[in-house]
Amino acid sequence: MAAPAPTSASGPAGPAGTAGSVGTVETQYLDLPEPVRLDCGRELSGVRVAYETYGTLAPRRDNVLLVCHALSGDAHAAGFAKTPPPESTRDGFGATDRDGTAGKGLGWWDGMIGPGKAFDTDRFFVVSTNLLGGCRGTTGPSSADPATGRPYGPDFPVITVADMVRTERIFLRALGIDRLAAVAGGSLGGMQAFEWAIQFPDQVGAVVSIASTPALQPQGVAWNAIARESIMRDPAWQGGRYYGTGRAPEAGMGVARMVGHITYLSAQALGDKFGRRLQFADDIRYTITEPEFQVENYLRHQADSFVRRFDANTYLYMSRALTYFDLARQYGGGSLARALEGVAARTLLIAFSSDWLYPPSSSAEIADALRGLGKPVEFQVIEAPYGHDCFLLEEARQTPIIRQFLSKQFPEEPS
C-alpha 216/C-alpha 194 separation (Å) is: 14
Q: Which residues of 371-398 are buried (b: 16+ CB within 10 A; e: fewer)?
A: eeeebebbbbbbebbbbbbbbbbbbeeb
Q: Comparing C-alpha atoms, which of 303, 66, 55, 75 is closest to residue 195? A: 66
DSSP secondary structure letter of residue 324 = H
Pick the CATH number of 216-324 from 2.170.190.11, 3.30.70.60, 2.40.240.20, 1.10.1740.110: 1.10.1740.110
Q: What was the pLDDT predicted at 415?
A: 42
Three-class HEC string of 364-411? HHHHHHHHHCCCCEEEEEECCCCHHHHHHHCHHHHHHHHHHHHHHHCC
pLDDT digits (tens, 9 = 90+) for 28-61: 999 999 999 999 999 999 999 999 999 999 999 9
Rounded to an integer, the average pLDDT of 361-377 is 98
Active-site residue set: 187, 355, 388
pLDDT digits (tens, 9 = 90+) for 155-181: 999 999 999 999 999 999 999 999 999
Q: Are 92 and 112 in contact (CB under 8 A)?
A: no
Residue 152 three-state SS: coil
C-alpha 226/C-alpha 4 separation (Å) is: 42
Q: Comparing C-alpha atoms, which of 389, 335, 396 is closest to residue 96? A: 389
List the domain boundaries for the chain.
Answer: 216-324
Rounded to an integer, the average pLDDT of 386-408 is 95
**293: burial class by Cβ within 10 Å (0-12, 13-18, 19+)?**
middle
pLDDT digits (tens, 9 = 90+) for 319-357: 999 999 999 999 999 999 999 999 999 999 999 999 999
Q: Are 161 and 188 in contact (CB under 8 A)?
A: yes
pLDDT band at 2 (very low <50, low <70, confident <90, very high): very low
DSSP secondary structure letter of residue 158 = P
Q: What was the pLDDT predicted at 97?
A: 61
